[in-house]
Structure 1
Amino acid sequence: MVLPIVVGLGATIIALTAKATIAAYRQYLHLTPVMIATLNNIKLINLESSMSSMNKADPRYEHYRYIRSKYPNRGFTDPMTEQEALLILGIEGDDILNVNKKMIRDRYRKLMILNHPDKLGSLYLSQRINEAKDVLDKSYMVNK
């Protein structure tokens, strides 16, 4: 006697949940990236407008355009992710498939020579480089 009522309530709850999920997904499809950024309190900058202030005849123009398209213009995440650690140490492409402790140590040393606080480098960047090395040393990619 109770079983049909429980099954009916369960089916109703599932149907209403599915209906609400489909409606939310349809609304999500109509959102633009600007709308999503606004909802998440993220200020977007237009990379093309910032690049337009630079003269295309400048020999560094292509280099800057490449750098801006390749690396995101955002702050560090906390806690640091493996993806961000790889980006900080400059490990990308086929290097990711062959990453090992020696490669991490070599990239770490190279960056620390350039950014060490004793050599007038940034303390913040050196801390982030250290954190990237620690994250990758504990990573499954290295310890397979």
Structure 2
Amino acid sequence: MQPGSGWIWEVCGSRQEAVVLKEINVKPDPPVPGQNLTVYARGIVNEDIEPGTYADVVVKLGFIRLLSRRFDVCQLAEENDAELKCPKKKGEYEITHTVELPREIPPARFNVHVNGKTQADVDLMCLDLNIDFGRH
């Protein structure tokens, strides 16, 4: 479990998945609604990531499910002009990406769960995030 000022992340899988995160940092810390959020992540890609890879994301506020959606990882990277695009070969990678957070995010604690599969049906990753927007 890796703490930040207003968030905690934890790898929830076996660490044998296609992508294993080693480090995540955000600025500002804690995140602030209506401001840009820059995310730095470092991890290892154990299996090639190609089109067809997907991530399932579930966002909850307490026990209330706010979002449950499947994302095409390669398409999402392309649409958001992400630093890493598909295909991605095995190796260690670092990325930095900035997004604008909506001003309307309420002052509350959100739980985010991410998992998925590669195009070859290998577990992609398992990640749990706990983000507290009540700390700003």
TM over 0.5: no
TM-score bracket relative to the smaller structure = under 0.3
State the structure with more CA Rg. 1
Q: TM-score, normalised by structure 2?
A: 0.24
Q: TM-score, normalised by structure 1?
A: 0.23
